[in-house]
């Protein structure tokens, strides 16, 4: 007990030692608080970054959905393909392509919705339509290429949004009185 009293007496005499201990403890506490705030801010920034990428992806998919729905009208009678449908398709595609480019440039190619091959195929199909219309040629080849592109895009949309059906076990119903199988596999 005498040792403790002696040390306490030394602490009372050397006030600078007490002040240094308080300052050191306060500095450690301040560093801990700064670390916690920085970690929280970093987490918040990462969350916003991920939400921005997901939002742009969803908008890109929506533009592609609108484009495929619009293209479904290509074979309807009375549709002005040259002057109305193709320009509307090009506008939808331009939006989707711009958003896709932004995803690639700012979030990386793994966040892109359309691959470079899909973009090149769509560009080529639109060019084929333009060339056929400008030269007064039939648009059958352009139509086939665009249909293939739209099927590819539709498959990509289905892969993302349409749930896969799980195989189910067959249901067997047995007549209670006779023991016969009414439905299901026998």
Tell me: pLDDT of 121 over 70.
Answer: yes
Asked whether residue 167 carries a pLDDT value surpassing 70, the answer given is no
Structure confidence by residue, pLDDT tens digits, 23-57:
888 999 889 888 988 888 888 888 888 888 889 99
Q: In terms of DSSP bridges, do strands 181-183 and 173-174 run parallel, antiparallel, or are they unpaired?
A: antiparallel
- In this predicted model, what pLDDT tens digit does every residue of 130-166 receive, in sequence order? 998 889 888 889 899 999 999 999 999 888 887 776 7
> Can you give the pTM of this predicted structure?
0.67
Query: Can you tell me the mean pLDDT for 77-84?
Result: 87
Q: Convert 5-28 into a string of H (helix), E (strand) and C (coil).
A: HHHHHHHHHCHHHHHHHHHHHHHH
Q: Give 186's pLDDT tier (boundaries 50, 70, 90).
A: very low
């Amino acid at each position: 007990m005498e040792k403790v009293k002696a040390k306490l007496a030394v602490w009372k005499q050397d006030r600078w030692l007490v002040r240094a201990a308080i300052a050191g403890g306060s500095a450690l506490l301040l560093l801990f608080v700064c670390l916690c705030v920085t970690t929280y801010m970093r987490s918040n920034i990462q969350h916003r970054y991920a939400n921005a990428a997901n939002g742009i992806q969803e908008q890109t998919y929506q533009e592609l959905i609108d484009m495929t729905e619009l293209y479904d009208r290509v074979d309807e009678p009375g549709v002005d393909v040259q002057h109305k449908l193709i320009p509307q398709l090009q506008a939808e595609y331009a939006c989707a392509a711009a958003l896709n480019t932004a995803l690639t440039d700012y979030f990386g190619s793994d966040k892109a919705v359309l691959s470079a091959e899909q973009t090149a195929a769509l560009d080529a199909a639109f060019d084929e339509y333009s060339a056929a219309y400008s030269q007064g040629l039939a648009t059958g080849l352009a139509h086939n290429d665009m249909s293939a592109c739209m099927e590819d895009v539709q498959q990509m949309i289905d892969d993302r949004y349409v749930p896969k059906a799980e195989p189910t076990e067959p249901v067997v119903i047995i007549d209670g009185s006779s023991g016969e199988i009414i439905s299901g596999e026998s």
